[in-house]
Amino acid sequence: MRRQIHRLAARGAGLLSRLARLAWEPPQQRRVTAWQRDRGDATRRLDYDLGAGAIVLDLGGYEGQWASDMFGRFACTIHILEPVPEFADRIAARFARNPRIHLHRVGLAGRSGAATLALAADASSAHAPPAPGARAQAITLVAAAEFFREQRLEAIDLMKINIEGGEYELLEHLLDAGLVSRVREIQIQFHDFVPGAEARMAAIQGGLAKTHDLTWQYRFVWENWRRRG
């Protein structure tokens, strides 16, 4: 009986300890923990019904790993948009012999023009507070409407958006221009460091809901919208 009591006490202490850690864990860390528990990078982000004829846009290509994983699964056509020169150079070298993966050395946005971001590997951003000592990098942005027109993109099977705060302006532009209906699947990472992030995200989600359904969501981590019909 004493052993049973000790075991129950130990289990109770362990549970209280886990609950205490959860209570003090920052909200974003709890979201990321759920994503990691579900192995989202290896499952959710790659689980689509695509064929070799699919057109995929990878916004924020960084080193091209997601594009590589998607091509390995579907052998589809992929347009990678990466405005940081050193990241784009790595992508160009990685896919130099793959004619179905196209690199564009620009960032997709709501307007065309120049911008400056703070380099921080895959968290390089023009919107987040720069880390101490971060190096500034000039980049080129192109409006989505202009890019779609130049590339003759009338139908896109999947658009992945991980552009470190630029997703708000881009999605607002896609909605305002009526271009969002051209995209069948939209995989988005919203970032909470942008001023008014909660309200802007809710407004964008409301706009997307007019043509798309939310298929899965890890709030402020990753979510996916699929066009109806």
**The model's pTM:** 0.84
In angstroms, rounded to a whole number, what is the distance separating the alpha carbons of residues 188 and 225? 8
- For residue 148, the model assigns a pLDDT of 98
The string of pLDDT tens digits covering residues 151-191 is 999 999 999 999 999 999 999 999 999 999 999 999 999 99
- Entry field: residues in the chain: 229
79: β partners: 57, 102
3-state secondary structure of 141: strand
Residue of 5 and 146 predicted with greater confidence: 146
The string of pLDDT tens digits covering residues 86-127 is 999 999 999 999 999 999 999 999 999 999 988 775 555 555
> What is the rounded average pLDDT of the residues 190-209?
97
- For residue 8, the model assigns a pLDDT of 46
Characterize the bridge pairing of strands 55-59 and 77-81: parallel
Alpha-carbon torsion angle 208, 212, 214, 220, nearest 10:
-30
In angstroms, rounded to a whole number, what is the distance separating the alpha carbons of residues 27 and 220? 10
User: 53 is written with which tokens?
Assistant: 């004829």
**Residue 82 one-letter amino acid:** E
Angle separating helix axes 197-208 and 167-176, nearest 10 degrees? 30
State the DSSP code for 214. Answer: E
- For residue 134, the model assigns a pLDDT of 72
- For residue 130, the model assigns a pLDDT of 60
The string of pLDDT tens digits covering residues 14-27 is 666 665 555 556 76
Cβ–Cβ < 8 Å for 83, 103: no
- For residue 117, the model assigns a pLDDT of 81
User: 85 is written with which tokens?
Assistant: 């020169």
Statement: residue 44 has pLDDT above 70: yes
User: 119 is written with which tokens?
Assistant: 């380099």
Cβ–Cβ < 8 Å for 35, 221: yes
> What is the rounded average pLDDT of the residues 203-220?
98
For the chain, what is the mean pLDDT?
89
> What is the rounded average pLDDT of the residues 54-79?
98
In angstroms, rounded to a whole number, what is the distance separating the alpha carbons of residues 1 and 215? 50
Of 56-70, 73-87, 129-143, which range is least confident? 129-143
In angstroms, rounded to a whole number, what is the distance separating the alpha carbons of residues 148 and 155? 9
Cβ–Cβ < 8 Å for 67, 58: yes
> What is the rounded average pLDDT of the residues 41-51?
97
